[in-house]
Amino acid sequence: MVVKSVQAPAPGSVGMELSANSVGGKKGASSKKALKKQQQAAKREANARIHAKLTSARLDDASGLPRNVLVDFVPFAKFERNGLAVDLEFYARGNGEQSMVPAEVVDFCFDLTERNMRQHYEQSGWGWNALKKRRELEDEEARLLVARDRATNKLVAFMHFRFEREDDALVLYVYEIQIEQDESVARKGLGKQIMLLAELIGRKWGMDWVMLTVLNCNTPAVQFYHKLKYTVDETSPQNDIENEGCPYTILSKQLDLSKRR
């Protein structure tokens, strides 16, 4: 039988190896902590930039009151086409209890929404919640563009939108766009101009997307938005097989083509 000789390790070599590994581990942990701090700092800076842009879009820098977004788009605040002439007006609540929105405007927006949408809400299975809808219109973040007929001085259409954040993207979210269905107002191109104005406002104030929710049973509205190149958003419940049969779809149009979500 041949016995192979085994060389013993040099004194202290095992201890030295463990010590080296231990130091390496500490250096690795330190590097990870430094990287995590850098990532957290970058996240805070990104959040600060997003918050600043969102605040600037919502509020006037000098007064702190809701920014009148029509000031930069005066030519688009007038609509004269197909026998219809209207002027757009802007309304929003202040930061306190005092409202900057006349009761006439809130009542009109609510009544028109109920006349146009109650049947769709009930058909979808959601049901009509009058209190919730009125509270949406009276919310401090609500921004209203209202169309007034020059000939009759009556309100004939409105858009309710808000500047919001969706993850790291800035969004102009269209909550409602409603047009009187009278033949003297409907299908004249007013709705299209109001939507295009919303896109201009979004671009002006650094929004990345325009988003909206549409009830699937409201076929004319779905067709209207598709004609304006709105597509199913990645956050829409239809993208999740578990939500198949959901009564609504989230649509969007990208304003900043360099931005991804």
Which tokens sit at 87?
């002027």
50-69: per-residue pLDDT in tens?
999 999 999 998 888 999 99
Residue 189's domain comprises: 71-254
- Distances 139 to 11, 15, 99, 143 between C-alpha atoms, Å: 77, 69, 10, 9
Closest CA to 174 of 200, 131, 213: 213
pTM of the predicted model, to two decimals?
Answer: 0.83
Domain assignment present for residue 1? The answer is no
Same domain? For 52 and 83 the reply is no
Phi-psi region of 153 (alpha: psi -120 to 50; beta: other; left: phi over 0): left
pLDDT in tens, 180-215: 999 999 999 999 999 999 999 999 999 999 999 999
Q: Give the count of domains, the chain.
A: 2
CATH code where residue 229 lies? 3.40.630.30
* Mean pLDDT of the 8-31 span: 49
Per the model's pLDDT, the better-predicted residue between 232 and 244 turns out to be: 232
pLDDT value at position 5? 39
Residues 79 and 114 both lie in one domain: yes
| pLDDT 10s digits, 71-100 | 999 999 999 999 999 999 999 987 554 557
